[in-house]
Structure 1
Amino acid sequence: MRAIGLVRGENSVQTFDLPKPEITQPDEVLVRIKEVGLDGTDYNVVRYGPDMAPDKNRMVMGHEAVGIVEDIGGDVKSLVPGDIVSITVRRGCGICHPCLHNQSDMCMTGLFKERGIHKLDGFLSEYAVDQEQYMVKVPREMKHLAVLTEPVSIAEKGIDQIRIIQSRFPWTCPHPEHDFKSPDWGNCKTGLVVGAGPLGLLAASLLRLAQVNIMVADIVPDSHPKAGLVNYLGAKYVDTSDKSPRELMEYCEVHGGSVDILFEASGAASTALQLISYMARSSIYIMTGIPRDELNLNIDAGQVIRHMVKNNEVVVGSVNSNRSHFEKALLQMTRINLEFPELCQKILTDRVKFNDFQEAFTPKGPKFIKTVIEVDPWD
């Protein structure tokens, strides 16, 4: 079968032939891959080099996949050939309590592996085999958007963390039904999403579904499609190309109110760190971006710590997701598609055929948001 990835010692993405994977265990599932989405993680794998297993000389790329079940092992109960599936990314260490209880995204040892990212082949190939527990069934009517399941699951996990952590205190608005444990938890709250890329837009859509008053910040002009999609969500776009972190937070205070929720989805290390100094009292800040380059910043550490402690602020790193987040993501994507029917398709700006894969890794045009590689296009 054909695959796309990287070879040790070489710095260009290429195709290579591999044996078609076979089911060797009774709980395994063979999937014919249909589409694979690319994100910043994939581009960083190319830029900085793949994190291959020591005994491997090449790694298949891609971790955002949707495909069709072609065959199943004898013990598989929840899937049959023809089912559409999204596949989770992280494989647990098999040692720590979270990994042993289906929460490998919270691995305590750091000995996890990740498809297409860390020590394991990804899904940019014609076929893939994995265990049933990592396969999440996709409703047939969602197949054309299911390639977004993984990024939606990342946003869903981050929002899960917000609700869990902020439920430590009663909400202070006049409506007791707006506390973080209630279905209407987003009312009377203001959020700022930093970064209007795919993850930021999807996070903003989930927060809007929860009725959070949302602003989204990025450095593109108001005329960019990203800004248009922010407005489409009923959120407010903020061009920060001429604003410092302090000016951004002051702008939000004036135009949206005190920011209760910060969701960082840009990977811009300097901005991400400086925003801590301007968080509102009792607010929460979710960081999902992972900067790769070294950055030295002159910052008043004492002021940052004083600000956090005196104001009961929380800063949380949120990485990866688990099966439960994939399942929630698919439910939420149905809601997104009903409430914002144009969003997902407009995020998927670039579709590239498998044979034209090099186009997916070349510089993008000014209207670019996200690329999908069509391994085996839908009928």
Structure 2
Amino acid sequence: MKAIALIPGTTTVHLVERPEPTVTTSDEIKVRILRVGICGTDREEAAGGRARAPIGQTELIIGHEMFGQVVQIGQAVTRVKPGDYVVFTVRRGCTKCLPCSMNRSDMCLTGDYLERGIWGLDGYQAEYVVDKEQYIVRLPPELAAVGVLTEPLSVAEKAIDEVVRLQMARLPDAPAHPDWLYGRRCLVAGLGPIGLLAGLALRLRGAEVFGLDIVDEGSARPQWLVHIGGSYIDGRQVSPEKVNQIIGPMDLILEATGVPSLAFNLLDALAPNGVCVLTGIPGGDRPLQIAGAELIRRLVLNNQVMIGSVNASRDHFQMAVDDLMHAHLRWGDHVERLITHRYAYSDVTTALKQQPSDEIKTVIEWTT
């Protein structure tokens, strides 16, 4: 079968021929890949950044934002059947710590996890893949057009879920509300796919959503957010440290840019008892100077929390599927407009290297 592979640490990305995988155990599932999303991680890998081939191999099949259709199942599989639309999760546990044994490798304690298409395991940019039932999530046919958005949405779902759990546990008045997020003022920094999908999840929960970026208000990303009831803040007109003065304080800040200076500057906009959750991963190692004493005083005196959130469990993938379905019922094909660019698998180099100004989400199509 055809697959897209890279040599980690280089910019060499090319089509390769690999043996077609087969179901060999009773809990395995074979999936025909329909499309795979391209994200910043893929582009970082293709630029020679962080990636690791499986042990004993020199190349890594890339791709972790997959969507496909079941073609074969092992005899013990009960969760899906041939013909079902599905996604597989990304991270695989270390087999050493308790969270990983609970299928929560997103909270691995050892750091010895593997990630399909990123770190030590071949990914999903291939005609077929096989994996175990514990990592699969089924999607209804109505989501065939947007199922490839499940993985990036799962990242936002985990971050939001952690915030809600934290606030429900620590705030004495939180249990008085049926949903802590309802009516809350939430700022999403960075209107890439994860940021916009976070805005979608927050709007579905009744939050007031503000999206911060540095693009023109009439461009694709702000307009997508406005369509679902969000508001746009142009960071070139309203700097992060002025958000509180001009727009008002935020109960939740979800950072999806990976820009360290912005993440810390946004704390000026955080309301008392508020939470800032970081999902962006910075590149490089440039030092950052911050007013440490003032930052700590603010966090302590205002009962504020700053946390990081990475990857997602199967439950968060399921939350993403549920929210995609709710969004489909509420906003119709508007969700599909997040997918702005599509490329054939044979044109993957173009997909990885080009980032048009109107791009939101690029996908690789494996079927015609």
Aligned to 1:310: 301
Aligned length: 366
Aligned to 2:354: 363
**5+ residue gaps, structure 1:** none
Aligned to 2:171: 169
Instruction: Please state how far the C-alpha of 1:171 moved relative to its aligned partner.
Output: 3.5
Deviations 1:290-332 (A, max 9, x none): 0121122221111111111111101110100011111111111
Aligned to 1:280: 271
Aligned to 1:219: 214
| 339, 342, 350: which one aligns with 1:351 | 342
TM-score, normalised relative to structure 1 = 0.93
1:185-196 mapped onto 2 (5 Å cutoff) = 185-196=180-191
Q: 3-state DSSP class of the match of 1:193?
A: strand
Deviations 1:117-146 (A, max 9, x none): 111110000010100111111111211111
Cα distance in 1 between the residues matched to 2:95 and 2:123: 20
Q: Is 2:216–2:234's contact at 8 Å kept on the other side of the alignment?
A: yes
Aligned to 2:107: 106
Cα distance in 2 between the residues matched to 1:219 and 1:136: 35
Cα RMSD (Å): 1.6
Aligned to 2:324: 333
Q: Does 1:74 align with 2:75?
A: yes
Cα distance in 2 between the residues matched to 1:251 and 1:199: 25
Q: 3-state DSSP class of the match of 1:282?
A: strand
Q: Is 1:191–1:261's contact at 8 Å kept on the other side of the alignment?
A: yes
Cα distance in 1 between the residues matched to 2:246 and 2:330: 28
Deviations 1:65-114 (A, max 9, x none): 11111111222222222121111001011111111112111111111111
1:229-240 mapped onto 2 (5 Å cutoff) = 229-240=224-235
Instruction: Please state how far the C-alpha of 1:242 moved relative to its aligned partner.
Output: 4.2
Cα distance in 2 between the residues matched to 1:28 and 1:201: 34
Structure 1 runs of 4+ aligned residues shifted over 3 Å read: none
**5+ residue gaps, structure 2:** none
Cα 1:222–1:65 change in 2 (3 A) is same
Q: Is 2:164–2:181's contact at 8 Å kept on the other side of the alignment?
A: no
Cα distance in 2 between the residues matched to 1:27 and 1:357: 32
Q: Is 1:37–1:147's contact at 8 Å kept on the other side of the alignment?
A: yes
Cα 1:9–1:44 change in 2 (3 A) is closer
Cα distance in 2 between the residues matched to 1:145 and 1:75: 29
Cα distance in 1 between the residues matched to 2:247 and 2:13: 41
Aligned to 1:30: 30
Q: Is 2:188–2:212's contact at 8 Å kept on the other side of the alignment?
A: yes
Q: 3-state DSSP class of the match of 1:273?
A: helix
Q: 3-state DSSP class of the match of 1:215?
A: strand
Cα distance in 1 between the residues matched to 2:251 and 2:112: 35
Cα 1:129–1:270 change in 2 (3 A) is same
Aligned to 1:40: 40
Aligned to 2:139: 138
Q: 3-state DSSP class of the match of 1:280?
A: strand
**Percent of matched pairs sharing the same residue:** 39
Q: 3-state DSSP class of the match of 1:114?
A: strand
Aligned to 2:244: 249
Q: Is 1:269–1:295's contact at 8 Å kept on the other side of the alignment?
A: no
Cα 1:9–1:283 change in 2 (3 A) is closer
Instruction: Please state how far the C-alpha of 1:187 moved relative to its aligned partner.
Output: 2.7
Deviations 1:207-252 (A, max 9, x none): 1111111110001011211111121111110110244321233222
* 277-286 vs 86-95, greater mean Cα deviation: 277-286
Cα distance in 1 between the residues matched to 2:182 and 2:225: 19
Cα distance in 1 between the residues matched to 2:103 and 2:218: 43
Aligned to 2:123: 122
Cα 1:293–1:8 change in 2 (3 A) is closer
Instruction: Please state how far the C-alpha of 1:266 moved relative to its aligned partner.
Output: 1.2
Instruction: Please state how far the C-alpha of 1:365 moved relative to its aligned partner.
Output: 1.8
Instruction: Please state how far the C-alpha of 1:280 moved relative to its aligned partner.
Output: 1.8
Q: Is 2:260–2:288's contact at 8 Å kept on the other side of the alignment?
A: no
Cα distance in 1 between the residues matched to 2:13 and 2:194: 24
| 257, 260, 266: which one aligns with 2:251 | 260
